[in-house]
Amino acid sequence: MCEKILKAPVNKYFDTTPSGWILNRFSKDLTVVDNEFSNNIYNTLECFLSLVFTLYVACLTSAWILLALPVVISVVTIYTKYYIRCYRDLVRMDSIYNSPVITHLGETISGATTIRAYRNQDYYLN
């Protein structure tokens, strides 16, 4: 991810994207990798094995379940595609909502000498 950002054309990406969006995206992605990735792998494996064994027992009990299985798989696939689109939109809206705060913080830190020069520290502390 970092390599792609660093190799992006300067006038195309960094000039059009606020620095708060970039920092917010990096921090969220690293948080996901650090905190949630191992738990998600474990939960996915557990759910998959539970599904396989449940279907195995159900098919041993009644062979009619094999006829309904393609319909269920297609319905789940359709809902999954819809869910992924909605989830991406929600994550994008969350990033856009949080980016002004991070952008303001970054600009305040980079402009700290100017703020001190005009003695406006009290305005930014409140």
Q: Where are the alpha helices (DSSP H) in the chain?
A: 2-6, 19-31, 37-61, 65-110, 112-117, 121-125
* Host H or E run for residue 17: none
The residues near 29 (Cβ < 8 Å, ≥ 6 apart) are: 1
Residue count (the chain): 126
Q: What is the pTM of this model?
A: 0.45
pLDDT of residue 74: 94
pLDDT at 48: 95
| pLDDT for the residue numbered 121 | 73
pLDDT in the model for residue 65:
86
pLDDT tens over the chain, length 126 residues: 667 766 766 666 666 777 777 777 777 777 777 788 888 889 999 999 999 999 899 888 888 888 888 998 999 999 999 999 998 888 888 877 777 777 777 777 777 777 777 777 777 665
Q: How far apart are CA 23 and CA 105, in angstroms?
A: 11
